[in-house]
Amino acid sequence: EAQGLMLNVADPSSVKALFGTLSESKSVPTILVNNAGIASDNLFARMKQDEWDRVLATNLSSLYWVCKAAIRGMMRARWGRIVNIASVVGQIGNPGQVNYAASKSGMIGFGKSLAREVATRNITVNTIAPGYIETDMTRGMTESQSAALRGQIPSGLLGAPEDVAAAVVYLASDAARYITGETLNVNGGLHMS
């Protein structure tokens, strides 16, 4: 049974309230997709503390708060799937995105470490690192910016949200039971590891 619920992942009290509501209704989430992400681009020399803090709270600290709230139920169920959505920027960096790159590379390390801790409980933790996907974050680009990006991608295409969704579905399934601690690049060949 799937259930969609809203919360502010950058606010630990919001996370606690949501998982309290789930607990009261005897719901135990066993599949968790951490997909919240924001960017606040600025050259490092000009970056304000607030720009750093907001991005890290939403993109990285939220993993701690949400996974901490969800993991106990998964451990009791002795089954769980955690899929974190990072970014190719966390692997290759990008000028003007020191905060974003730090948060997304932190997600990759977080996933690997948590995977090692919970694997014996039949819980997998994996990360997807999308490249440039046609979303609200990329729709603001000019046509020349979009063309320049496509020129760097071997496939010559920006990805679709469905490309990332298919990877999530796979990693959340029993078919991926023997995959944990991995980072799956969904980026048309922009970054190959």
- Give the active site residues: 100
CB 115 within 8 A of CB 141: no
- Beta-carbon contacts of 107 under 8 Å, excluding residues fewer than 6 positions away, are 34, 59, 60, 63, 84, 85, 86, 90, 127
What is the distance between the alpha carbons of residues 151 and 157, in angstroms, rounded to a whole number? 8
The DSSP symbol for 133 reads B
Rounded to whole angstroms, how far apart are CA atoms 71 and 73?
5
